[in-house]
Structure 1
Amino acid sequence: MGTLMLMELTSLDGVAQAPGGPEEDTSDGFRHGGWAVPHFDEEMIERIAARTERGAALLLGRRTYDIFAASWPLAEPDDRVGAKLNGMPKYVASRTLDTVSWQNSALLTGDVAEAVGKLKASVDGEIQVHGSIGLVQTLLRHDLVDEIRLSTFPVLLGSGRRLFADGTIPARFRLVGTETSATGVVVTTHARDGELTYGAIGPETGNW
């Protein structure tokens, strides 16, 4: 059974749109593309490469697939991330694409949640989701996410598509790892941990 991991970059206010470049995603007039780039250093790139190399398969939404398919095939042969992404099996969840041309890519057909459930049952290892903000909501809504690796950058953007948008269902996660880069990026890894629980705190409750 595969483990489905979200690998996401967000600002402090939760924006995940276009971290990698000005033209990456300008939908809805977004003007802050490339906001994550100044915080990348060799150490962070090494960490991303090491984590990406652990993947057994890649699962992408249409927009992120288009961005990756236009970029990563241009990577140099010694680029560890490029070599891994180009070589690994890739599955694309899209209702608008008829074909996918990036090597080792395949379209998921039919109901997305059902198709991803079957994918998890057939893949031995880590299925990584990068970006794919719209797809992420579907995966969370159907409780298909096993882990979230969240890189939070020390910036506020004020606008843009947020990773955990309206419609995210309540769920509990357990912190299983944390790292901090020299440029101030906090990377946390969270594992799915059952149903959300509730309580009350204050002098009147005896829990203070």
Structure 2
Amino acid sequence: MAKLTLTTFLTLDGVMQAPGGPEEDTGGGFEYGGWLVPFADDDLGRFVNEGFDRAGGFVLGRRTYEIFASYWPKVTDPGNLVASRLNTLPKYVASTTLSHADWQSSTILGGDVPGEVARLKERHSDGELQIHGSGALARSLMAHDLIDEYRLLVYPVVLGTGARLFADGGVPTSFRLTDSRTTGAGVAIHTYRPTGRATFGSFALDE
């Protein structure tokens, strides 16, 4: 059974929208695309390569799939690990609007996406199934406890607006920190595994 992992770039105030460029996602009038670019460095590149080296396939939302499909097939350097993994490994796209997916080794998941992903986890045994970005997809899979590991890269910037990974209405969940590191540019990389439902207490004094 494959492990399903989520890797996401976040601002300090939890925004995940359009990290890589101004035209990635302007939904809702978002004007701050490309906010991670000033913090990219060799440390970040090493972490990203480590993750892609463990990949056995990808589960992507429609928007992330379209962003990746417009860029990565043009990267033909065989030494580029990210490109080689994305261009050759299976890609499963959660979409109710796409009728076809032309990028090599791509399959559209329709209908019951959480059910389809649960079955993919059962079938895959070679490497991780990885989600990158794909906020709407990630939130739907969180609600069904299907994500086994969260890799959150938190950037030292606040935007004040934009789509967030953890939106209101999510399931209260506890996590265990399994790894933490910081890049030279100040990006805090935290790896978490869910441990079950959140628990609560009180510091009130006994009467």
CA-to-partner distance for each residue in 1:4-59, whole Å, 9 max, x for gaps? 11100000000000000011111111000000011011221121011111011100
Equivalent in the alignment of 1:89 = 90
Between the aligned partners of 2:107 and 2:185, the Cα distance in structure 1 is 37
Equivalent in the alignment of 2:168 = 166
Q: CA deviation at 1:110?
A: 2.3
Q: Aligned pair 1:3/2:3, yes or no?
A: yes
Secondary structure of the 2:173 match is: coil
AA paired with 2:201?
G
Equivalent in the alignment of 1:37 = 37
AA paired with 1:103?
Q
Q: TM-score, normalised by structure 1?
A: 0.95
Equivalent runs, 1:1-208 vs 2, <5 Å? 1-77=1-77, 78-124=79-125, 125-202=127-204, 204-205=205-206
CA-to-partner distance for each residue in 1:128-168, whole Å, 9 max, x for gaps? 10011111110011111111000000000011101111221
Q: Which runs of 5+ in 2 are unaligned?
A: none
Between the aligned partners of 2:136 and 2:111, the Cα distance in structure 1 is 17
Q: CA RMSD in A?
A: 1.2
AA paired with 2:114?
A
Between the aligned partners of 1:21 and 1:188, the Cα distance in structure 2 is 23
Secondary structure of the 1:194 match is: strand
Between the aligned partners of 2:169 and 2:98, the Cα distance in structure 1 is 25
Between the aligned partners of 2:167 and 2:202, the Cα distance in structure 1 is 26
Q: CA deviation at 1:109?
A: 2.7
Between the aligned partners of 1:126 and 1:192, the Cα distance in structure 2 is 17
Q: CA deviation at 1:76?
A: 3.4
CA-to-partner distance for each residue in 1:160-183, whole Å, 9 max, x for gaps? 101111221111111000010000
AA paired with 1:62?
R
Structure 1 range deviating more: 42-51 or 182-191: 42-51
Amino-acid identity (%): 46
Q: TM-score, normalised by structure 2?
A: 0.96
Which of structure 1's runs of 4+ aligned residues deviate more than 3 A?
none
Q: CA deviation at 1:205?
A: 4.5
* Conservation of the 8 A alpha-carbon contact between 1:137 and 1:167: no
Q: Which runs of 5+ in 1 are unaligned?
A: none
* Conservation of the 8 A alpha-carbon contact between 1:54 and 1:126: yes
AA paired with 1:102?
W
Aligned length, in residue pairs: 205
Between the aligned partners of 1:94 and 1:149, the Cα distance in structure 2 is 23
